[in-house]
Amino acid sequence: MTIPQTDSNPAPPPPPVDQPPQRRWGEFVIERLVLIAGVSTILIVGLIFFFLVREGLPAFLDVPLRQLFGDRWYPIEGLYGIWPLIVGSILVTVVAIIIAVPFGLITAIYLGEIAPQWQREILKPLIEVLAGIPSIVLGFLGWVALAPIIQQLGAPTGLTAFTGSLILAYMSLPTIISISEDALYAVPKEYRDGALAIGATQWQTIWRVVLPAASSGLVMAVMLGIGRAIGETMAVMMVTGNAANIPELSPTMLFEPVRTLTATIAAEMGEVAQGSLHYTVLFGIGIVLFLITFTVNSLAGRLVGTQTRRKRGQL
């Protein structure tokens, strides 16, 4: 938004005669400072990418691509195949999203369409609290409390892909809930009134009118949820067991340990020598993660852009 200007009442440019010169200078300097602050965000994204590439590009040049995307990750033997890590990340994220999306969307529907005001006033802060719980605390609970339960269910170990997915699903819920709720809220009340007036039940109204109208926002909620889940590090590192193997396609594949891209960086960066091949490969993994989240968020960002524009139009 720029400075308010209505057609009938345009803000007059400050008459230069009345302004002491230092004030005009002050304005100029401030405007430049504020502009720099804004543009610095672009600069930072650029810098992050630049430094990742600077440190990580050698990985793509020095390790043969066939090996880099091979299926064996044994840094001690000089084998840097990141394929098991990619599979681990995808497996944990996909299962987390399959769990979190229905739960998140339905909770948003409850909050936005069904819950009475007093319940909303209790539930929304509770979900904000969930969003505020540090991931390490949830990881800790997963480690001391959830993993033993999973093991009792018959898995050989409690630290499995599924344990990670459960924790991740719970962590991405606040993102999914709050963005879907915004999307539902943005659906004009007239749509609901119209549907109810011609005799539809509340459920028919939600299912056939409100959800389709909010669909672009709901897609965005899911995408940002994915972005949140794939980048999560500490909790996943604590509960997935960190074995860099590719689970075989089988009914029990979820109950085997896996290792994700993020956990690999976090677990191994502390022990490598700066500039070694292992070091550059870990930065290479950083490039892969950056590109994945950049793509997901840029797509979601385009949806956000169209949404905020619409919202402002309504104000």
Q: Contacting other proteins (CB under 8 A), which of 93, 107, 165, 180?
A: 107
Give residue for tokens 């509960």. 239
Kindly indicate which of the ranges 17-25, 63-71, 147-155, 184-192 contains the residues binding other proteins, using the contact rule CB under 8 A.
17-25
Least distance to other proteins, CB of residue 173, Å? 6
Binding to other proteins, residues 196-255 (CB under 8 A): 201-204, 206-207, 224, 227-228, 230-234, 238
- Tally Cβ neighbours within 10 Å of residue 209: 17
Kindly indicate which of the ranges 61-69, 76-84, 100-108, 250-258 contains the residues binding other proteins, using the contact rule CB under 8 A.
100-108
Can you tell me the distance from the alpha carbon of 232 to that of 239, in angstroms, rounded to the nearest whole number? 12
Closest to 161 (Cα-Cα) out of 95, 97, 104: 95
* 74 phi, psi to nearest 5 deg: -130, 80
Q: Contacting other proteins (CB under 8 A), which of 79, 115, 186, 209?
A: 115
Kindly indicate which of the ranges 35-43, 62-70, 76-84, 182-190 contains the residues binding other proteins, using the contact rule CB under 8 A.
35-43
Q: Contacting other proteins (CB under 8 A), which of 155, 222, 265, 281?
A: 265
Residue 271 amino acid letter: E
Phi-psi region for residue 200, left (φ > 0), alpha (ψ -120 to 50) or beta?
beta
Least distance to other proteins, CB of residue 95, Å? 17
Residue count (the chain): 315
Can you tell me the distance from the alpha carbon of 6 to that of 212, in angstroms, rounded to the nearest whole number? 35
The residue among 17 and 249 lying less far from other proteins, judged by its C-beta, is 17
Least distance to other proteins, CB of residue 78, Å? 21
First to last CA, the chain: 13
Q: Contacting other proteins (CB under 8 A), which of 71, 86, 294, 307?
A: 294
The residue among 200 and 253 lying less far from other proteins, judged by its C-beta, is 200
Binding to other proteins, residues 128-167 (CB under 8 A): 128-130, 132-141, 143-145
Is 73 a binding residue for other proteins by CB under 8 A? The answer is no
The residue among 256 and 262 lying less far from other proteins, judged by its C-beta, is 262
Q: Contacting other proteins (CB under 8 A), which of 7, 17, 30, 254?
A: 30
The residue among 134 and 156 lying less far from other proteins, judged by its C-beta, is 134
Can you tell me the distance from the alpha carbon of 223 to that of 296, in angstroms, rounded to the nearest whole number? 7
Least distance to other proteins, CB of residue 194, Å? 17
The residue among 137 and 252 lying less far from other proteins, judged by its C-beta, is 137
Can you tell me the distance from the alpha carbon of 81 to that of 69, in angstroms, rounded to the nearest whole number? 5
Kindly indicate which of the ranges 73-81, 98-106, 188-196, 208-216 contains the residues binding other proteins, using the contact rule CB under 8 A.
98-106
Q: What is the DSSP string of 51-114?
A: HHHHHHHHHHHHS-HHHHTSS-EEGGGTEE--HHHHHHHHHHHHHHHHHHHHHHHHHHHIIIII
CA–centroid distance for 33 within its chain? 31
**Which helix or strand (DSSP H or E) is residue 295 part of?**
helix 277-314
Kindly indicate which of the ranges 58-66, 79-87, 90-98, 291-299 contains the residues binding other proteins, using the contact rule CB under 8 A.
291-299
Residue 193 amino acid letter: D
Binding to other proteins, residues 42-61 (CB under 8 A): 42, 44-45, 47-48, 51-52, 54-55
